[in-house]
Each structure stands twice: as structure tokens, then as C-alpha cells.
Chain A
């Protein structure tokens, strides 16, 4: 039997009720997120916050010319013809008419197998008189007229139409591709080509050769070299790039889609009938780069970078002037492009940390690619387009390396290597306007920095103050850590 609690037994119930009521009051909500209530009451504080510090004089500028012995210049994907800002190149190609492997016979889209010299002679005899023989060059996509890499007329300078004349000469001897860059080799005086280009570069360039001469090479199974030059009378002596014989596996950005599967590099095409052709491919091709503008090495001179024939710079500012034991909130290397002395496609420039002893100031040092020889630590990168009409400043982050310097690391003198990497010609370029708003995207594939010739010229320390290279640092300090003293 359950006994009903007497009045005297209600104490526990009442106590429980009191607790429950109080719990209900307390449990009705959760804590608010922290907010300005209490701001200013804390006993600790930072003494200085986001202080500006700027250095605009270099104490070290060394140059690194980076070479790759397994990919010499003659294996570059692009052949260059023309000149720009002191850089000039012609194209060399060797042909071996005695090597049947360099011949190809096509009917329509089909390639006829089992080609031999007897069949070649038979084809030429059957097609006689053969008079349409051309030397073909395929313009690299980026150099085609009006490719409009960014497509924004307000902020992007469209690539100009290039109209060129071409001279083709036989070399006095086949060239040695491994000797370039170098002077143009000796060649015979007669111009082998006629009907030089009178249209803007837009895909395939056809240089009509003297048929008798070429058929004589075939008949004699000669091994010879030719040089493709741009005469002084050429309308546009702009640098233009053409696909090399080594470009078989590169990205679409170098080739038009509809040219895929055709011959690469300077190729001789003999038209047998309207849809029958005999092709002779080169055994070697290379750009001469017989003129290359100087690359300065002085700390008071311009900062110049070059791709294709890769030359990077190793910079250093005098960080000793920074306060010690501060928090580096942000450190940027700021460079201003001298657009009048810069050319080439959009680039992703990379900044890495490297001992300055690898490239002593005021010198050019030749180093061998790759990471085996150069163990640099990546810091940051930034995309810059020389054809952009308004955005001529690049900012590259140095925050971590400056902080390491503040912390006394590493134990050697550190420089900042400004140059290229395998991502320098990125897969996708995002075009932004001067307000930083994305406007367009262009897929360029991801190409080696050896692909395109490009020269970046950034204003040096002799430029007006607002254009000088500088290190912009924001830091925060606690006087207690530094005793209020500068380093």
C-alpha cells in the first residue's frame, strides 16, 4: 500500500520543484557567441599592429642560366623566326633525301605503306611534270593573327597580324643542331623559295620551292640543310613561332585542331595529284637565335627574365633593416613591368628560396636543370600577361621566408629566385580586369618553360621610386619581445 505523503513529507518535493524551476530558467538558452562586450578590458595587447616597412634597393642580383642537357635547343617545341627587342632567330632544317624513312606518301587521308625509292621514282615519273613543291611551316597557335588570348578588348591588347616574307637558302653544309644558339651558318646565295608570305600568319605557311632543285635533291638522294630567314624587307619583323618536328606530343595550344596528324616541323610537300602527296620530313630543325639581347646583372639595372633559353634572377634585399622578433603579417615582392621591353605569352612566374652563393651578384651562372642540382624552396607564384593593357604589377608572396629570416633561419644567406617552372605556361589563364574581376578563361595547356620565347623586363632600382622593385612588409610587434629596439 502506498502511503500518501503527509504535509511534513513535502519538503523534498518542494526542493525538487525549486531546482527544476531554476534549471528551466537556466536551460532556456545557450551562450551567445562572443561579441564586443568586454572589448578594451583585456590586460594584454599588441603594441604595434600592421606596421609598414618597405625596401626598394637590391643588395644582390645574380643570374642563373638554366640548361637541360637532355633537352637541348634543337628539341624545343617551337621554332622562331623574326626579331624582337634585340632577340632574333632564323630556322634551320636538315633533310636526308637518301633516307626513305623521312618520306611519306599519302592518298587522301591514307598513308601508303611500304614506300621505297623505286616507288618514289615511279610516282614522280607518273606525275611529271611536277611543279608544285612547297616547304611547309605550321604557325604555332599562340602566334596566329588575332588569337586574342584574353578576348577583352578593353584590357587586352590583341595579338597583331604578322605578315612576313621568307627567304629559303641551302646551307653550304648540313648544320650541327647542338651548336645553337649561335650565328647563322653559311648558305648559298640563291633564294630557293618564291611566293613569299603575303598573308597574315594564320596556320599553314606554304613556301613554293623551285621544283627542279628539289627533284634534283631527291634524285641524288642528297643530305643537305636549309635556312629559313626573314629578309630585311619583310613587312613585320615580329618574332613568330612555328611548330617543330619535336612537337608531336605537345598540347593543342601549339596546334590548330584541324592540323593534328599532319606533318610537323619544316616539311617539303610534293604534290603528285590533287589528293596525292609525297612528304619529306626534316631530320633536324632548330632556331638559330643568332642575336640575343643582353641580360643585365647589376643591382641598379633592370630585372630581366627569359624563357625558352631560360635565364632567371636571384634577388636579395637587405632584411637586416627589419625589426627583430616581429610577426611578419605579409611580405610581398612587388615588380613593375616595363611593357615596352617585354613580350611573350602570359606566364606564371615563380619565386623560390635559394642560397645566394649559387648565383653570385653581378654574374651569370650556368646551372643544370633540374631539382637534383637546384634544391629551391617554392615560395609563391603569380600570373602576368604582358599583353594586358592596365595590369603591369606583379606581387609575389615572401611572408614565410621573411619570417624565417626574422627567426634566424636558415644559417646561409637567402636569395629569392624569380623564374619559371613547369607550370609557368599554365593550363588555364584567368583574365581579370583592373578591379580584379574575372573576365574570361583561356585554356593553354601546361607547357614547359622551354616552349615559348619570352622576355620579361621589370623596372630596376634606377627607375622612378613608384616603379622600383620593392619588398613590402607588414609586421606586428610586441615591444616586450624586441625591447622596442630595431634589429
Chain B
């Protein structure tokens, strides 16, 4: 576990560059993938996976199989090239969106977990330099920096139960929180300035129910549902120098979200899997804070994995190999058209000694939006890294 400690320390010390893609300036920001590098390497599926080294990364029900306490960290680095109508921008970013601790209460039958997941991120900054006005018959030039920062995160606390050898059930209480700030700073000639800030504090609660059925034979299936809920938003607007702030409240309705997936064993070494997710944002109608009205969000992931297999007569193993594809249509439109996100990935990993955890890595090529349809497009190279450490729990 010493290596876990070192890597975690390095990850926590990583600088989070304030840049994602320009699409995160809109509405509810940008989705953050919470799967481990193992999941991302094979396209992002994992609802039907009951891996024993890094269990339950996407489907909490699988945590019931735990026989050791598990500490899971998953993060990634992004190198993103954004293209706008007239200019490009290259940004770098590191983020550690997922941390989770899982503990077996009854080995292989009952487990509990708690953690931290960044669900949506709002980090981008744009700069406009050609603001021009005529005031009192004199020209004034200036520039504007628009900075959005913050994230919407989730704290899950839940139980996973294995009532039957092949059936896993999970239930989690999810605390949703998030501070988001939109800031506009303008500088003009003669030291004229404007400094506008809008602060949003999101707060909400919901739950997630999940199941995983390891059907005898090569097929497993998994599913989860998160009922719709409301995010209460405290909004504060201020301009530097003006006494007092305007405070208001709003509600952002989050839809029921369904996730489902399957896993099919292809012989001794290979596995084929796929996940789908659907969030009915379209049913929520016009939101208080964001326009235009959102639309349903869909995502689909499919991929192949060559398993990590221990040699029965030696200390060696076959290195895992993962490939996959992911597609997502975001819940809001930019430039009058829906935003589509696609990714192709590869990945691999290595186990710790005595198979007490693993380090997994993935490399994805992601492209978001379309210059023709959305006015912007982004291409990202994403390096995922996750660590799952298993330890016997001693009380």
C-alpha cells in the first residue's frame, strides 16, 4: 500500500488547471467520467462487472463481493485542443474526480461504502480583447475575461448486499453539492473596470438503487436507477464597488437516470461488454437558471477486454488489454445543435503483490462537438490512472 500512498499524494498535489472545454461555460457544465481507468480503457462500460481487484467502480452492488477493505482513487489528465470560429486554444488539466472507501461487513456478502465523485465540472476561461465603445464622443477600448469555475460533486454513502451467489443488490444515499462561480472582469481605457460575479451553491439529495445478476453461463447484467430530484440553488450576484448583493434561490430539476449494461465472457481470456445510460432531462422542461431547455442525455459504451489471468504454475500473468468506444449526447445544445461526445480508448493495468489491488491506466482520444453544428469543437487526449488498494480490515 505504500505505492498507493505515494501516488495518491502526487495526485492530490497535482495542479488543477482551470480549463476544460468551452462547452463547460454553458448550462450544467461538462460531464465528468467517474469510472476507473480500467472502465475508461474499455470504453467506459462496467455495470455488469464484478471484478475482485477493483470491484464496483460503476455498479455499487458489486461491492457486496468484497473480502478486503478497498481504497479507490481515480483521476485523469487532459490535453485539450479547442477550436473556435477564429482561433484555437490548447489547455492542460489534471483532476481527481473519484475517491472511495469500501469495507466488507460480511466477507463476500455485505459491504458498505462512502466516497466522493465529481459529477460535473465548470472550469473554463475566455478572453475577448476587442471591446470598443464611443462614450462622450471619445473612443474607449477594453477587454473582458470570463471565468467559470467550480464543480458539482456527489458524496455517496451506501450498502451492497449479496442475497444469492449470483445476485448483488446496492442502495446508496447521494448528497449532491457544488459551488460554481461565473466572473466577468472588464478593463477599459482610463482604468475603467467592471467585476461581476455570480455564485451558485447547489444542494440536493437523492439515492441510487443498483443490481448485478451474474447469470449462470457467460452473461452478466447490471442496472441502476437514480430517481429524479431537485437541486436547490442559492444564487448571489454582485458587482465590485456596488453596495449589497442580490440573493435569490432557484431550482434545477435533475431527471431520473437509468443505467444498464451487460458483460459477455468470450472464452477464458476475453470479455465483451456494453453500457447504456439515459437521463430524461427533456421531461424537466425549462430550468430556472439555464436556457435553452435541456434535452434527454444519452450515452453508450462498448468495448473488449483481455482479462488479467494468473498463471497457475508461476508468478507471471497475462497483461490485460482493453479497447473501447464511447458516445454521449449532452443534455443541452450549443449553437442550436446538440453536443455529441465520442471517445476511443485503450488501456491496461498491473496488479499489486498478492493481487491486493491494481494500478490501471487508460489513454483515450475524445472529440466533443462540431465546428459546423456547435460553433466549437474540442479534441482531447485523456490519460486515466486509477489505483485500487485492498487491505484486510482490522478492528
Within A7-46, the residues touching B (CB, 8 Å) are: 7-12, 14-15, 18-19, 22-23, 25-26, 29-39, 41-46
Assess whether B290 is in contact with A43, with CB atoms less than 8 Å apart: yes
Question: Which of B184, B192, B361, B385 contacts A42, CB < 8 Å?
Answer: B184
Whole-angstrom CA separation of A45 from B127 in the bound complex = 14
Nearest B-chain residue to A10, judged by Cβ: B319
Assess whether B22 is in contact with A37, with CB atoms less than 8 Å apart: yes
Nearest CB in chain A: distance from B321 CB, A: 10
Nearest A-chain residue to B194, judged by Cβ: A476
Nearest CB in chain A: distance from B42 CB, A: 14
Assess whether A39 is in contact with B133, with CB atoms less than 8 Å apart: no
Assess whether B127 is in contact with A33, with CB atoms less than 8 Å apart: yes
Nearest CB in chain B: distance from A50 CB, A: 5
Within B103-134, the residues touching A (CB, 8 Å) are: 124-129, 133
Whole-angstrom CA separation of A480 from B237 in the bound complex = 8
Assess whether B25 is in contact with A42, with CB atoms less than 8 Å apart: yes
Within B185-211, the residues touching A (CB, 8 Å) are: 186, 188, 190, 192-194, 196, 198
B165 on interface, CB distance cutoff 8 Å = no
Q: Which B residues lie within 8 Å of A15 (CB)? A: 319, 348-350, 359, 361
Assess whether B25 is in contact with A38, with CB atoms less than 8 Å apart: yes
Given contacts A50-B133, A481-B237, contact A408 B23 (CB under 8 A): no
Assess whether A45 is in contact with B192, with CB atoms less than 8 Å apart: no
- Name, among B125, B193, B240, the residue most crowded by chain A CB atoms within 10 Å (CB to CB): B125
Question: Which of B17, B319, B381 contacts A31, CB < 8 Å?
Answer: B17
Given contacts A26-B77, A325-B244, A330-B192, contact A39 B146 (CB under 8 A): yes
Assess whether A29 is in contact with B90, with CB atoms less than 8 Å apart: yes
B263 on interface, CB distance cutoff 8 Å = no
Assess whether B348 is in contact with A14, with CB atoms less than 8 Å apart: yes
Nearest A-chain residue to B130, judged by Cβ: A36
B363 on interface, CB distance cutoff 8 Å = yes
Assess whether A50 is in contact with B92, with CB atoms less than 8 Å apart: no
Within A26-80, the residues touching B (CB, 8 Å) are: 26, 29-39, 41-46, 49-50, 52, 54
Question: Which of A41, A43, A52, A327 contacts B242, CB < 8 Å?
Answer: A327
Assess whether B198 is in contact with A38, with CB atoms less than 8 Å apart: no
Q: Which B residues lie within 8 Å of A18 (CB)? A: 348, 361, 363
Nearest CB in chain B: distance from A293 CB, A: 33
Assess whether B194 is in contact with A46, with CB atoms less than 8 Å apart: yes
Question: Which of B86, B133, B246 contacts A481, CB < 8 Å?
Answer: B246
Assess whether B89 is in contact with A326, with CB atoms less than 8 Å apart: no
Q: Which B residues lie within 8 Å of A406 (CB)? A: 242-243
A407 on interface, CB distance cutoff 8 Å = yes
Interface size on B, residues (CB 8 A): 72
**1/0 per position for A134-163, CB-CB distance to B under 8 A?**
000000000000000000000000000000
Within B315-340, the residues touching A (CB, 8 Å) are: 315-319, 334
Assess whether B237 is in contact with A478, with CB atoms less than 8 Å apart: yes
A421 on interface, CB distance cutoff 8 Å = no
Assess whether A36 is in contact with B127, with CB atoms less than 8 Å apart: yes
Whole-angstrom CA separation of A472 from B138 in the bound complex = 12
Assess whether B126 is in contact with A41, with CB atoms less than 8 Å apart: yes
Assess whether B194 is in contact with A14, with CB atoms less than 8 Å apart: no
Nearest A-chain residue to B360, judged by Cβ: A15
Assess whether A52 is in contact with B135, with CB atoms less than 8 Å apart: yes
B19 on interface, CB distance cutoff 8 Å = yes
B154 on interface, CB distance cutoff 8 Å = no
B314 on interface, CB distance cutoff 8 Å = yes
Assess whether B140 is in contact with A34, with CB atoms less than 8 Å apart: no
Whole-angstrom CA separation of A458 from B237 in the bound complex = 42
B354 on interface, CB distance cutoff 8 Å = no
Question: Which of A33, A42, A472 contacts B136, CB < 8 Å?
Answer: A472
Assess whether B126 is in contact with A34, with CB atoms less than 8 Å apart: yes
Q: Which A residues lie within 8 Å of B217 (CB)? A: none
Nearest B-chain residue to A407, judged by Cβ: B243
B82 on interface, CB distance cutoff 8 Å = yes
Assess whether B182 is in contact with A43, with CB atoms less than 8 Å apart: yes
B79 on interface, CB distance cutoff 8 Å = yes
A329 on interface, CB distance cutoff 8 Å = yes
Assess whether A326 is in contact with B136, with CB atoms less than 8 Å apart: no
A403 on interface, CB distance cutoff 8 Å = yes
Whole-angstrom CA separation of A23 from B383 in the bound complex = 8
Assess whether A43 is in contact with B92, with CB atoms less than 8 Å apart: no
A218 on interface, CB distance cutoff 8 Å = no
A274 on interface, CB distance cutoff 8 Å = no
Assess whether A41 is in contact with B25, with CB atoms less than 8 Å apart: yes
Classify chain A: how many residues form its interface, as a range.
35 or more
Assess whether A8 is in contact with B311, with CB atoms less than 8 Å apart: yes
Assess whether B237 is in contact with A11, with CB atoms less than 8 Å apart: no
B84 on interface, CB distance cutoff 8 Å = yes
Assess whether B79 is in contact with A36, with CB atoms less than 8 Å apart: no
Assess whether B383 is in contact with A22, with CB atoms less than 8 Å apart: yes
Q: Which A residues lie within 8 Å of B239 (CB)? A: 327, 476, 478, 481
B226 on interface, CB distance cutoff 8 Å = no
Nearest CB in chain A: distance from B360 CB, A: 9
Whole-angstrom CA separation of A15 from B93 in the bound complex = 22
Question: Which of A30, A34, A42, A330 contacts B89, CB < 8 Å?
Answer: A34
- Name, among B27, B290, B348, the residue most crowded by chain A CB atoms within 10 Å (CB to CB): B348
Assess whether B90 is in contact with A32, with CB atoms less than 8 Å apart: yes
Nearest CB in chain B: distance from A164 CB, A: 45
- Name, among B83, B240, B242, the residue most crowded by chain A CB atoms within 10 Å (CB to CB): B242
Question: Which of B126, B311, B317, B363 contacts A37, CB < 8 Å?
Answer: B126
Q: Which A residues lie within 8 Å of B23 (CB)? A: 41
Assess whether A50 is in contact with B135, with CB atoms less than 8 Å apart: yes
Given contacts A19-B383, A329-B194, A476-B239, contact A42 B146 (CB under 8 A): yes
Whole-angstrom CA separation of A18 from B320 in the bound complex = 13
Q: Which A residues lie within 8 Å of B161 (CB)? A: none
Q: Which A residues lie within 8 Å of B251 (CB)? A: none
A249 on interface, CB distance cutoff 8 Å = no
Whole-angstrom CA separation of A41 from B17 in the bound complex = 20
Within A286-330, the residues touching B (CB, 8 Å) are: 325-330
Q: Which B residues lie within 8 Å of A38 (CB)? A: 22, 25, 82, 84, 89, 124-126, 146, 376
Assess whether B244 is in contact with A46, with CB atoms less than 8 Å apart: no
A474 on interface, CB distance cutoff 8 Å = yes
Assess whether A403 is in contact with B241, with CB atoms less than 8 Å apart: yes
- Listed by A's residue number, 25 A-B pairs whose Cβ atoms lie within 8 Å are A6-B316, A8-B311, A11-B348, A11-B350, A15-B350, A26-B383, A30-B92, A31-B17, A32-B90, A34-B127, A35-B87, A35-B89, A35-B127, A41-B334, A43-B290, A46-B186, A50-B188, A52-B136, A326-B242, A328-B241, A329-B192, A330-B190, A403-B241, A407-B243, A481-B242
Query: Given A6-B316, A9-B316, A43-B182, 20 other A-B contacts at CB below 8 A?
Result: A8-B317, A11-B318, A15-B350, A25-B381, A26-B381, A31-B93, A34-B89, A38-B89, A39-B128, A41-B22, A44-B184, A46-B196, A325-B242, A325-B244, A326-B242, A330-B192, A476-B194, A478-B239, A480-B237, A481-B239
B residues lining the A interface (CB < 8 Å): 17, 19, 22-23, 25-27, 77, 79, 82-84, 86-93, 124-129, 133, 135-136, 140, 145-148, 182, 184, 186, 188, 190, 192-194, 196, 198, 237, 239-244, 246, 289-290, 311, 314-319, 334, 348-350, 359, 361, 363, 376, 381, 383, 385
Q: Which 8 A-B pairs have the closest CB atoms?
A: A8-B316, A38-B22, A11-B319, A407-B243, A38-B126, A37-B84, A34-B125, A34-B127
